[in-house]
Each structure stands twice: as C-alpha cells, then as structure tokens.
Amino acid sequence: MKKFTLAETPFDIAPLRAALVRGEAGAFASFEGWVRNHNEGRDVHGLRYEAYAALAEAEGERVLSEALAKFEIADACCVHRVGDLAIGDMAVWVGVSAGHRDAAFAACRFIIDEVKARVPIWKHERYADGAADWLHPEPPTA
C-alpha cells in the first residue's frame, strides 16, 4: 500500500482521511499546502508543479516510512499535486492518525518538512507581470 502518491488532477481528501481512521487512534493531524496569490512580494497568477516521478515516489515513501518509525503514530499518508494549479488549489495534503496529539502533530510536521526538502518536485510560478520562474530555493543558512 503506497503512502505517498503524486496526483495529476485535483483529489478528494475525504477518502484519504477515512483510510487513516483506527479504533486506537484518538488524534488526527493534517496539513495542506495551498497556492498563494503572492510569493516574496510578487503577485502570483498560477503555477505548475513538475516531478521526477519515479524518484519522487520512492523518496516520498521513504519520508513516510521514516515518520512511521520515528513517531508513535497509527498511519500516515501524503499526496502531492503535479501539473497546473490555480490560486487556492491544494498542492499537497498530509494526514496522520495517532493515539495522542503530540505524535500526530510532530509526525505531520516532519512529513511536510521532509517532503519539501527532499522530494524532487519543482514549482514554476507565473507572475502578474507576465514573467515566470522555476523556484530553486537557496539552502537555509547555518
């Protein structure tokens, strides 16, 4: 059962969430990334996500496996969109079920942080002034 997937079209949250319900789970944390209308001071009109699909899926699975090993959680799942997105569209969804909320929150945060840092997906933004750019963030300074 894959825990990380890429989606080429908009997807429903409800069945993803339902698949994480467990009788022993009292806590559920989720995170969503939405397309913002601005980024670093520029008006954004839309964007596109591109992935190196084979490696993104393998690396995404590794992130989810690490979360399941590292935190006291029941289950977890992450779906990331690729293709064209509009303002307000959901770009990524992370859901985590756990016995208690500490682990649910910590694992949810871990997954989104690691996915953003490691999974080969790239964002291409189109700006109000007609320009467009690939985002290749600088590494955080020590």
Partner 1 sequence: MTQVTVLYFASLRDAAGMTSETIGSDASDLRGLYETLQARHGFVLPVGRLRVAVDGAFARWEEPLREGSEVAFIPPVSGG
User: For binding to its own copies (CB under 8 A), which residues are involved?
Assistant: 13-14, 21, 23-38, 87-88, 97, 99, 101, 104-105, 108-109, 112
Q: Tell me which of its own copies, partner 1, none is bound by residue 92, counting a contact when its beta carbon lies within the kind-specific cut-off of 5 to 8 angstroms.
A: partner 1
Q: Find, among 103, 90, 96, the residue nearest to 4 by Cα.
A: 96
**Please, which residue, 26 or 128, has the CB nearer to partner 1?**
26
The phi, psi pair for 88, rounded to 5°, reads 90, -15
Q: Tell me which of partner 1, its own copies, none is bound by residue 117, counting a contact when its beta carbon lies within the kind-specific cut-off of 5 to 8 angstroms.
A: partner 1
Is 54 near partner 1 (CB under 8 A)? yes
Q: Tell me which of its own copies, partner 1, none is bound by residue 25, counting a contact when its beta carbon lies within the kind-specific cut-off of 5 to 8 angstroms.
A: its own copies
Task: Give the whole-angstrom CA distance, residue 92 versus residue 102.
Answer: 22
Task: Give the whole-angstrom CA distance, residue 123 versus residue 11.
Answer: 19
Out of 15, 41, 139, 140, which residue is the one contacting partner 1 (CB under 8 A)? 139
134: which strand partners?
A: 124
Question: Closest distance between partner 1 and the C-beta of residue 81, in Å?
Answer: 9
**Please, which residue, 2 or 38, has the CB nearer to its own copies?**
38
Is 96 near partner 1 (CB under 8 A)? no
Q: How many CB atoms lie within 10 A of CB 117?
A: 11
Task: Give the whole-angstrom CA distance, residue 97 versus residue 106.
Answer: 11
Binding region for partner 1 (CB under 8 A) out of 11-19, 63-71, 102-110, 120-128:
120-128
Task: Give the whole-angstrom CA distance, residue 119 versus residue 101.
Answer: 26
